[in-house]
A and B are shown apart, each in its own frame.
Chain A
């Protein structure tokens, strides 16, 4: 038989544990929809909700000039919540290039 070192034995045990965990989670996800939330990260962990962010938070992100951030907030106050991310293009100072950048930062629920 092969003579495994303690480290190698640990690796084999680790792989087995991961496999057991994976099968259990797979099974639970099929039965209970809430488990799916544990497996797939929620969108708010990766993007900022454009309809909930305040001016202070928006300027703190440093991904927009202050004036554009102010325009986004005033647009939201005038027209209500953004219905889609495409509506960002209607804000003065956001062209196609900037919109492409902002698409990866914000989301609209």
Chain B
């Protein structure tokens, strides 16, 4: 079977979905898994039965991984806190995410290592979302002692969305609200991973380069498109992009990962590094880029797919796109099976799947390969990709965001080529800013002009009657 990986991923996802709808004990599923495994071993020579049992095992594995993700460690910080508990807790640990300051408030994820309650100390683990009422200069890996009340997040349920579920998918079960800087005691030592510290340092340098050459608004948009940092994008710009169905250009995706791989490969080629070493170094750079952009689902998907493609090239094997996609899905779901219910995950995979499945079919149906006019063919192919992505994601968007935007196809035809140029300009600007800052201005002017054009087009398309409507 050519796409064993892809089918296994489908059954793995089915296992996760089925078990989320039922209440079966972990041990019962495990027993079923052992029996299936034994049956698969016995039917080793019968290919059809063996493959069917392997798929069943994938399904059981998916179910088991979801059940396992629900189980918290005995020392998890959430096990120390009772409902409506007003006790003051002292938490030792380190900052586990890059702190975000917005509206004079700072928030970050805190990884706990020790908890103190009433002069008694226990070792603990798990994450807490910390929200502070004041801006504080903190960075990833800073060791701190925090003192405050721990609360469980509220549901805030509106339709299918729940804030509590959103946080629990990130394995955050508690919130700490800090009102006074006296509740924070900085420590000298550092926690966290050195690789992440390095990636975040690199990201901040890149952001500095972008903001050095561009005005605030274009710099914010370019940071989102190149580095995945969406904090400084104005609300109105995001709103317009949601309405026109082009918000995906603000997300770092496979295209960006492809550009990084291409640039690294080209630079290494220029300094005459051999092909094998070049591929290995490119894979390492892709990992670092993934960390720089915050390792969100679309980036992880694109990175894993890129790594599988490059590895296939290294091993002189052909890479199947469906197997690559399945590999990426299994990687993300293996780490955290609850990501299957994350909208970002669904949109990312649905759009790629729709493009790789529908695009060749529609293209051959319309006989685009016979078209001799290069420009027309290029435009038609662009339209088709947008149309396929829209088909793939329309249902998820309508269900989650209650919006249908027929203008999406038109907007994407106009905006995606521009976004491609902007991203390329962005990467050129960042590289120039690092290696020859004198030339940075050349790329920044073009990038700023393209961003202005993009914003104008976006604002214009949503004014078309019937461009979008809320459900």
Contacts and interface: CB of A to CB of B under 8 A. Distances in A.
B452 A41 contact: yes
Nearest to A22: B442
A39 B235 contact: no
B262 A11 contact: yes
A74 B138 CA distance: 42
Interface stretch (A43-51, A65-73, A81-89): A43-51
A45 B106 CA distance: 27
B444 interface: yes
A25 B441 contact: no
A18 B217 contact: no
B437 to A, nearest CB: 14
Contacts of B456: 41, 45
Interface in A48-82: 48, 61, 63
A100 interface: yes
A23 interface: yes
B443 interface: yes
A101 B104 CA distance: 10
A27 to B, nearest CB: 10
A15 interface: yes
Contacts of A45: 217, 236-237, 452, 455-456, 459
Contact of B235 (A11, A18, A40, A105): A105
A22 B445 contact: yes
A94 interface: no
Contacts, number: 81
Interface string B424-455: 11001000000000010111111011011101
B7 to A, nearest CB: 33
B234 interface: yes
Contacts of A61: 239
A26 B269 contact: no
Contacts of A40: 215, 218, 448, 452
Interface in B212-249: 215, 217-218, 234-237, 239
Interface residues of A, number: 29
Contacts of B443: 18-19, 22
Nearest to B216: A46
A97 B102 CA distance: 11
B376 interface: no
Nearest to B456: A45
B266 interface: yes
Given A41-B218, A97-B103, A101-B103, A46 B442 contact: no
Contacts of B21: none
B1 interface: no
A29 B446 CA distance: 12
A16 to B, nearest CB: 10
Given A18-B446, A22-B446, A100-B103, A46 B237 contact: yes
Nearest to A44: B459
A100 B215 CA distance: 21
Contact of A26 (B103, B217, B425, B441): B441
Interface of B: 103-104, 215, 217-218, 234-237, 239, 262, 266, 269-270, 424-425, 428, 439, 441-446, 448-449, 451-453, 455-456, 459
Return the 4 tightest CB-CB contacts between A and B, nearest first: A22-B442, A100-B103, A46-B234, A45-B455
Given A39-B449, A41-B218, A63-B235, 17 more contacts: A11-B262, A18-B424, A18-B428, A18-B442, A22-B444, A25-B446, A38-B453, A39-B448, A40-B215, A41-B455, A45-B455, A46-B217, A47-B236, A100-B103, A101-B103, A104-B235, A105-B236
Interface of A: 2, 7-8, 11, 14-15, 18-19, 21-23, 25-26, 29, 38-41, 45-48, 61, 63, 97, 100-101, 104-105
